[in-house]
Amino acid sequence: MRRISVTIIAILICHAASSQLSATEWFNKGKKSQGEKDYKAAVDAFKKATETDNTFFDAWYEMGWCQNELANYNDAVLSLTKADQLKPGMSSVIFELGYANEKKGSYEDAVFNYRKCAAVNPTYAAAWYHKGWCENQIELYDSAYYSCIKAIEIKTTYREAYDELGFACYKLKKNEESINAYRESINLDPTKSAGYNGIGDVFKSNYKNYDSAIVYYSKAYERNPSHKKAPYNIGWCLNEKEKYEEAIPYLKKALILDVNDNATRTELGYAYYKSKNYDDALFHFTQIMSSNNKDELSRYYAGFCYYLKNDQYNLQRMIDQLQSINTTNSLKYVETLKKYIK
C-alpha cells in the first residue's frame, strides 16, 4: 500500500478542521476579512456561515453589504432580501437593498426600498436622497423634488441632494429654484462641476440663453475637463449661435472623451457641414450610419453634403435609406432631399 504523503495528510486535517467551524467562527473570519477590505474572502466566509446556519441574520446582511462593495448587485439583492425576511424593518438592511437595486438599474424597486427605509427611519437623509436620485432617473420629478427637500431638511450640507433638487426643478421648469439649488451645491464645494453644469442646463434648455449657458458650462469644464458634458454643451450652444468654427474644437474634445457618442458626432458633423467642410462632415456622418442603421439626422445632413459635392448618386442613396427607415421624420427628410435631385 502506498504511503500517504505528509502534505496530503496535512491538507486533509486542515479541511476537516475547517469543515467543523461553527457559523459564528465563519462569521468572525468574514468580519476580519471585511475589516481588511478583502471583500471576496469575506463573502466566502459569510456564505459558509449561512450554509452552516441559514437563519444567521448578521451573516446574510454583511454578505450583502460586501457584495455591494464588489458590485455583485444581483447577489446582494438575494442576500439582503433574506436578511430582511429574517429581521423585517431594519433600516440599514433596507437601505443596502435599495442601493443594490439602484446600482443594477432597478430604479422602481430601489424607490420602493428607500421609501420603506425612510418610513422606518424618517431622519435617514441618505434614504431620501437616493430615493430622489432614482425618481429623477424614472422621470418622477415631483416625487424627486419632495424627496430631495426632505434630505436637505435633515442634512443642510448635503451637496448631492442640492444637485438632485436642482435637476428635478430644472425638469419641472422651476428655473429660479433650480438655479438656487445648484448655487447651494456650488457654495458647499466650488471644486465640483455638477452645479455649474446644472445652471448651464437651465439657461440652455429652459431660458434658451446660450451666452449664459456657455459661461456656466465653461466653469464646469475648468473643474472637470475629463467629462464630456461641458464641452459637448458648449459646442451645442455655439452651433445654435451659428458659431460653427468655434464649436468644432469643443466638440472634438467631447468626442475624444467618448468616441462612441453619436450625439457629439452629429453636432460635430453638423458644425463641419455648416462650415462647408463637407468631407470631414461626411466622415462623422458615415461613422454614425455605420453604428446605427436607423439614424435619421446623419443621413439627412449627409444628403445635403452629397448634394453640395455634386454627388447625386449618394444623395439618392441617402434618400433611399431614409425611405426604408419609414418614420414620420425620415419621410419628411425624404421629401426635403428630393427637391435637390437633378
Residue 20 has a CB neighbour count (10 Å cut-off) of 8
Residue 214 has a CB neighbour count (10 Å cut-off) of 25
Amino acid identity of 75?
A: D
Give the residue ranges of DSSP H helices in the chain: 6-19, 23-35, 39-52, 57-69, 73-86, 91-103, 107-120, 125-137, 141-154, 159-171, 175-188, 194-201, 210-223, 229-240, 244-257, 262-274, 278-291, 296-308, 312-325, 328-338
pLDDT of residue 20: 83
* Crossing angle between the packed helical segments 107-120 and 125-137, to the nearest 10 degrees: 160
| Residue whose cell numbers read 443621413 | 299
| Residue whose cell numbers read 425612510 | 118
Residues 6+ apart with CB under 8 A from 239: 247, 267, 270, 271, 274
Per-residue pLDDT tens listing for the chain (342 residues): 344 454 444 443 444 445 589 999 999 999 999 999 999 999 999 999 999 999 999 999 999 999 999 999 999 999 999 999 999 999 999 999 999 999 999 999 999 999 999 999 999 999 999 999 999 999 999 999 999 999 999 999 999 999 999 999 999 999 999 999 999 999 999 999 999 999 999 999 999 999 999 999 999 999 999 999 999 999 999 999 999 999 999 999 999 999 999 999 999 999 999 999 999 999 999 999 999 999 999 999 999 999 999 999 999 999 999 999 999 999 999 999 999 999
List the one residue out of 282, 289, 283, 291 whose CA is nearest residue 320: 289
DSSP 261-285: -HHHHHHHHHHHHHTT-HHHHHHHH
With a threshold of 0.75, does the pTM exceed it? yes
Specify the long-range contacts of residues 11-14, CB closer than 8 Å, at least 24 apart.
Answer: none
